[in-house]
Structure 1
Amino acid sequence: MMTREDFVSRFGGVFEHSPFIAERAYDAGRIVEPLSASGVHAALTEKFRAASADERLGVLRAHPDLAGKLAIAGQLTEDSRNEQAGAGLDRLSAEEHARFTGLNTAYTEKFGFPFIIAVKGLTKDDILAAFERRIDNSRETEFETACVQVEKIARLRLESLLPENR
């Protein structure tokens, strides 16, 4: 059986900078070997959904802006860097970057957390279209949408960590 320390070390970053979710899943006895992406995702998602609204807000706020200042400074987590690069967000024109920056600022000011979308399989144009569509949502709708996206990101990360179990 994988130790708590090993489990949290391996899966604590699946929900961005939020190892408490992996700790709670492990402590609840929800981790069953052999590990599978779907099994670990179910356990982690259960604990994410059971977290308080403030804790879930903290998870949302742990996510970086898309094509934002952390990306420019090279300070994204490896997962975030790879995900954003896969969508072409590391190759924006000056005009595109200015558009993302403006949307990031407006979105964060309106909702209190960054725009979150699972970028795998999306182009920068798809992401911009979603950004522009979602910025008009209510805070409640957008909080729920962002939480769903965080769970999707976690699932994609787990599938890359546990590829043998797809």
Structure 2
Amino acid sequence: MSDINTLTRKAFIERFGLLFEHNPWIVAQAETMRPFADPEALHAGFMKVVAHSGPEAQLALLRAHPKLADKAQVKAGLTKESASEQASVGLNALTEAEFARFHELNTAYETRFGFPFIIAVRLAGGKAGILNAMETRLGNDAETEFATALSEVGKIVWLRLKDVVTP
């Protein structure tokens, strides 16, 4: 952790900016909390910034996430991290029927909640687990789902952080 704690501000942001989809401001704010004792404390710092950022900034964070298995976003280009995570569970190689089901659920979810469905795909149990979670979470109330989506962002950030700090 000493190497992380001694990075310049710019180097810290460059190293960890990829953790949050298109939201490096979170990393920039957490940088001021150094030193961090361990990766868990670093993650907690990042999530503290999110927790204290307020509902509008949190909603913007959620809206920055890509839709899962969305052909248009795949064509437009996902972040390297999102593309890798989605590919790790086969979302880059769906049948037409699977793409159609993901599209249907993505549309229903975003219409209901105002942001894309977010899940830590590496922990979700593959395509079937993701589809099951999408169907189940569509039944949540808005407050519960907002909190669930932020929790999933935390899981995604933790997994990405482990990738960055683990040699």
TM-score by length of 1: 0.92
Give distance in 1, aligned partners of 2:144 and 2:39: 28
Tell me by how many angstroms 1:39 deviates.
2.6
Structure 2: unaligned runs, 5 residues or longer:
1-5
Aligned position for 2:109: 107
Q: 2:19 is paired with a residue of what secondary structure? A: coil
The answer to whether structure 1 residue 10 and structure 2 residue 8 are counterparts is: no
Percentage of identical aligned residues: 43
Tell me by how many angstroms 1:10 deviates.
1.1
TM-score by length of 2: 0.91
Give distance in 2, aligned partners of 1:15 and 1:148: 13
Counterparts in 2 of 1:33 and 1:130: CA distance versus 1, 3 Å: closer
Counterparts in 2 of 1:4 and 1:18: CA distance versus 1, 3 Å: same
Root-mean-square deviation (CA, aligned residues, Å) is 1.3
Aligned position for 2:3: none
Match of 1:85 among 87, 99, 110: 87
Count, aligned residues = 160
Q: Is the deviation greater in 144-153 or in 12-21? A: 12-21
Q: 2:117 is paired with a residue of what secondary structure? A: coil
Aligned position for 1:94: 96
Q: Which structure carries more helix by proportion?
A: 2
Runs of 4+ in 1 over 3 A off after TM superposition: none
Give distance in 1, aligned partners of 2:113 and 2:23: 20
Give distance in 1, aligned partners of 2:98 and 2:19: 28
Give distance in 1, aligned partners of 2:18 and 2:164: 11
Give distance in 2, aligned partners of 1:82 and 1:45: 23
Higher relative contact order (CA 8 A, sep 6+): 1
